[in-house]
Structure 1
Amino acid sequence: MKTLVISFFVAIASLQLAFAQSASSQEQEIITLSKDKWGWMSDKNVDKLTTLFNDQSMFVHMGGSWGKSQELEVIKSGNIWYKKANVYSTTFHQIGNTAILLSDLDLVAVVGGNEVTNPFMVTEVFVNQNGKWSLGQLSFSRLMRPVKN
């Protein structure tokens, strides 16, 4: 009986450890996707972004909101050049097949030919469909804090 109880607790602990490692690897996967996205946006790599952005994705900016095709056109045309994102912290939350990443960052961008730097809390919502993560939503919320860099 004692062996059975010990075996039961070892099995439960193993399951908890496996779940924690899985959640941790998904968190790292989303953080890496986000980091890659900022690089692709800076490089204006619309081919990579086309694959990452969900067909039904939405983007919320200080000047408006729009869908995937308009966001890709804004990036391709250089109307907004996401020059550099200095990310200071990120928070990860997962609800089923949805992952939410909140990032405190300063964004250096060129808008209308003028370079600007703004402090933002950026919300990214990733959805997992058929085992593949895609970006479903990206919002910029301007923070009241001063720029850090």
Structure 2
Amino acid sequence: MQESEIISREKEWMDAWIAKDVSVFRDILSDDFLLSSARGNLMEKTEWINNASGPFTCKSFIWKEIKVRTYGNTAVVNAFVEQVASVGEKDWSGFFMLTDVWVQQNGKWQVVSRHGTGPLADQ
């Protein structure tokens, strides 16, 4: 059951990005969340929320493949995704590989880390 719950949380997170739903961001992202972006930046929770609710815009996020491996209260997600997104006027659309680390804490699964690679060559 953990796998389906984590996949559901992944989708909830990216749906919230499309909707710019800050309350969902705060619930899903652990206080010590850290993104290592495909563009070579490190971004903590507050900065990610500010960007995702501001200049980072996502129009669609499609899960092409997703694999979840759980280890007690920790889960690692490897995913291949396609997004239509932008930062201001810059297009950030394309295919990406993501690695997310989730921890069961505070009575729920929260993401503590995301690493993105891409955009990849057209698939």
TM-score, normalising length: structure 1: 0.76
TM-score, normalising length: structure 2: 0.91
Aligned-pair distance for 1:115? 3.3
Higher mean Cα deviation, 40-49 or 114-123? 114-123
> What's 1:121 paired with?
97
| Structure having the higher Rg | 1
Q: Which runs of 5+ in 2 are unaligned?
A: none
Identity over aligned residues, as a percent?
A: 25
What do residues 23-42 of structure 1 show as CA deviations (whole Å, max 9, x unaligned)? xx110000010011110011
Structure with the largest fraction of strand: 2
Structure with the largest fraction of helix: 1
Q: Which runs of 5+ in 1 are unaligned?
A: 1-24
Aligned structure 1 segments of 4 or more residues deviating by more than 2 angstroms: none
Of 64, 85, 88, the match for 1:109: 85
CA distance in 2, matches of 1:114, 1:144: 17
> What's 1:6 paired with?
none
What do residues 104-124 of structure 1 show as CA deviations (whole Å, max 9, x unaligned)? 011211112233312111111
Q: CA RMSD in A?
A: 1.5
CA distance in 2, matches of 1:109, 1:46: 18
CA distance in 1, matches of 2:89, 2:47: 19
Aligned-pair distance for 1:130? 4.3
Report SS of the residue matched to 1:73: helix
Of 113, 119, 122, the match for 1:137: 113
Higher mean Cα deviation, 110-119 or 65-74? 110-119
Q: Which has the higher contact order (CA 8 A, sep 6+)?
A: 2
Q: 2:118 is aligned with what amino acid?
A: R
> What's 2:23 paired with?
47
Report SS of the residue matched to 1:88: strand
Aligned-pair distance for 1:83? 2.3
